[in-house]
Amino acid sequence: MPPASSAPLPNDLEAYWMPFTANRAFKKSPRIVASAKDMHYYTADGKPILDGTAGLWCCNAGHSRDKIVQAIQAQAAELDFAPPFQFGHPKVFALAARIAALAPGDLDHVFFGNSGSEAVDTALKIALAYHNIQGQGSRVRLIGRERAYHGVGFGGGAVGGIPGNRKAFGALLAGVDHLPTTYNRAEQAFTKGEPEWGGHLADELEKLVALHDASTIAAVIVEPMSGSTGVLPPPKGYLQKLRAICDKYGILLIFDEVICGYGRLGYAFAAERYGVVPDMITFAKGITSGTVPMGGVLIRKPIYEAFMKGPELAVELTHGYTYSGHPLACAAGLATLDLYKEEGLFERARKLEPVWADAVHGLKSLPNILDIRTVGLTAAIDLAPIADAPGKRAFGVMDKAFHELDLLTRIAGDSIILTPPLIISEGQIGEIVEKTGKAIAALA
Ligand SMILES: Cc1ncc(COP(=O)(O)O)c(C=O)c1O
């Protein structure tokens, strides 16, 4: 029995301007889900749709899990809101401590926002403010990477590396530069996990330091595994090298783990998988398994302590959001972390990684496949674009999978992205791969 949906299907879709969506195409042929439980969405007429994307990389514990639902319901009745500036509530301190305990090294302070975009902009601002209070106010430059996605704020947009997300929005932030992407199909095609080739690309940071001078560079931000632009795992040794170069020049290293965090790569954070402790980690999505918006930044102890100086009544960081550490998000976050632990979901993702990789790479012989990449419980399948219609083949696969094969997939350009909840069974892995294969074959 699908969980009942209380909302009738709307007659008029016009008023809603949908984010990152082809609005006109959608409204002609809508893909609407009305309820969800565990591994499935359900349409309004009760048809189950297998969730191949954990919503949008976020429902790592699966959907509408009882424990999380009950925690949110109880919290709404007990304390709906508490002002986060100059006041607190018990669960925000508890959640910060729980997140810090999951993080490696001395990443032991947490600043909360409501999304990945806010987390990224917060981390960039903390980096700038940190250098300022250290007497190094000339360090204003921020370094991102080609093919990075860091959300849609002016800061995250500027350090991001997706031309289509940048070109309509003017100069975004000044003083930003980019490392080259680590992806090279000729060298890396059909790799499971981290490619052997590409670790040397971290040395490109040396070139940017030579060009701009270290005294002008505040921070480097990278996704350990670039998710949104098509699952690009870091080449072996790359992140370790970046860490060493940042240390050499006093540049802060930020890992954007909005996707990588909370089990996606088999660990609480990718920093643990790769044995690299960055200066800050941004997170969102999986912290509440997507149930209530929440994002945040993990910050190393010396950075936090650098701010804790001066008059005791002075606000140390003039930054924050009305909904920073919202009680509903904190209740959801605590229940989600409990569930991850009780069900061993990070370890489960690690154990399933080879099963997942073998299954998805089994699609290699289908027509029009240019590359398949897998790491953790995530995969990208690059399809050959149709001449003069980039993105059309992958869009067709996504649309067919939803309407005809009852599977939710995601696309980035002509790549199909699969990134299921961590509760997935081996049988459901087979189902996702079989249906994806059918949709790809049909669009050949
Ligand atoms: C690495 C990364 N950073 C930031 C964001 C932005 O998160 P949000 O959409 O919650 O603002 C995303 C979203 O997918 C992301 O993947």
Q: What pLDDT score was predicted for residue 283? A: 98
**From CA 411, how far away is CA 381, in angstroms rounded?**
9
117 lines ligand 1 (CB under 6 A): yes
The secondary structure element, H or E, covering residue 404 is helix 392-405
Q: Which of 229, 259, 291 to mutate to test the pocket of ligand 1 (most atoms within 8 A of CB)?
A: 259
| Residue 9 banded pLDDT, cuts 50, 70, 90 | confident
Residue 162 has pLDDT above 90, yes or no: yes
Ligand 1 centroid–CA 119 distance in Å is 9
Q: Residues 139, 271: one domain?
A: yes
**Tens digit of each residue's pLDDT (9 = 90 or more) over 184-228:** 999 999 999 999 999 999 999 999 999 999 999 999 999 999 999
Of all atoms in ligand 1, which is nearest to the CA of residue 260? Answer: 1
Residue 42 has pLDDT above 90, yes or no: yes
Q: Report the interhelical angle of 392-405 vs 426-442 (nearest 10°).
A: 120
- 12: in domain: no
**Strand 410-412 versus strand 48-51 pairing type:** unpaired
- 219: in domain: yes
**Tens digit of each residue's pLDDT (9 = 90 or more) over 308-353:** 999 999 999 999 999 999 999 999 999 999 999 999 999 999 999 9
Residue 61 has pLDDT above 90, yes or no: yes
Of all atoms in ligand 1, which is nearest to the CA of residue 257? Answer: 1
Of all atoms in ligand 1, which is nearest to the CA of residue 116? Answer: 7
Of all atoms in ligand 1, which is nearest to the CA of residue 284? Answer: 10
Tell which phi-psi region holds residue 289, choosing left (phi > 0), alpha (psi between -120 and 50) or beta.
Answer: left
Q: What pLDDT score was predicted for residue 11? A: 81
Q: Residues 120, 202: one domain?
A: yes
Residue 399 has pLDDT above 70, yes or no: yes
- 103: in domain: yes
Instruction: Write the DSSP assignment of 352-375 as a string of letters.
Output: HHHHHHHHHHTTTTSTTEEEEEEE
378 lines ligand 1 (CB under 6 A): no
Of all atoms in ligand 1, which is nearest to the CA of residue 226? Answer: 1
Q: Residues 110, 143: one domain?
A: yes
Q: What pLDDT score was predicted for residue 3? A: 78
**From CA 396, how far away is CA 386, in angstroms rounded?**
11
The mean predicted confidence, pLDDT, of the chain is: 97
Of residues 428 and 4, more confidence is placed in 428
SS3 245: helix
Q: What pLDDT score was predicted for residue 39? A: 98
For the chain, the domain total comes to 2
Residue 415 has pLDDT above 90, yes or no: yes
- 5: in domain: no
Ligand 1 centroid–CA 253 distance in Å is 18
Residue 53: which domain range? 23-61+344-442
Distance of CA 351 to the CA centre of its chain: 21
For residues 363, 368, 371 and 372, what is the CA-based torsion angle, rounded to 10 degrees? -30
Q: Residues 90, 192: one domain?
A: yes
CA-to-CA separations, 219 to 118, 200, 410, in angstroms, rounded:
17, 20, 31
Ligand 1 centroid–CA 19 distance in Å is 13
Q: Residues 83, 189: one domain?
A: yes
- 180: in domain: yes
Ligand 1 centroid–CA 46 distance in Å is 30
Kindly state the tokens that stand for 79: 């304390």
Q: Residues 417, 334: one domain?
A: no
Distance of CA 296 to the CA centre of its chain: 12
Residue 234 has pLDDT above 90, yes or no: yes
Closest CA to 200 of 185, 213, 182, 225: 182
Which of 342, 370, 397 corresponds to the end of one domain? 342
The answer to whether 121 and 364 have CB atoms below 8 angstroms apart is no
Of all atoms in ligand 1, which is nearest to the CA of residue 148? Answer: 1
Ligand 1 centroid–CA 179 distance in Å is 19
Closest CA to 376 of 360, 396, 397: 360
Ligand 1 centroid–CA 177 distance in Å is 20
Which of 274, 309, 342 corresponds to the end of one domain? 342
**Tens digit of each residue's pLDDT (9 = 90 or more) over 101-110:** 999 999 999 9
Q: Residues 45, 75: one domain?
A: no
Q: Residues 363, 273: one domain?
A: no
- 15: in domain: no
Q: Residues 328, 355: one domain?
A: no
Closest CA to 238 of 200, 193, 282: 200
116 lines ligand 1 (CB under 6 A): yes
CATH number at residue 174: 3.40.640.10
| Residue 1 banded pLDDT, cuts 50, 70, 90 | low
Q: Residues 186, 198: one domain?
A: yes
- 1: in domain: no
Q: What pLDDT score was predicted for residue 356? A: 98
Q: What pLDDT score was predicted for residue 8? A: 74
149 lines ligand 1 (CB under 6 A): yes
- 307: in domain: yes
The answer to whether 103 and 298 have CB atoms below 8 angstroms apart is yes
Which of 342, 371, 404 corresponds to the end of one domain? 342
Q: Residues 320, 271: one domain?
A: yes
Q: What pLDDT score was predicted for residue 367? A: 96
Closest CA to 255 of 284, 231, 238, 277: 277
Taking residues 19-28, report their average pLDDT: 95
CATH number at residue 433: 3.90.1150.10
Residue 4 has pLDDT above 90, yes or no: no
Q: What are phi and psi of 115, to 5 degrees?
A: -160, 170
Q: Residues 335, 350: one domain?
A: no
151 lines ligand 1 (CB under 6 A): yes
228 lines ligand 1 (CB under 6 A): yes
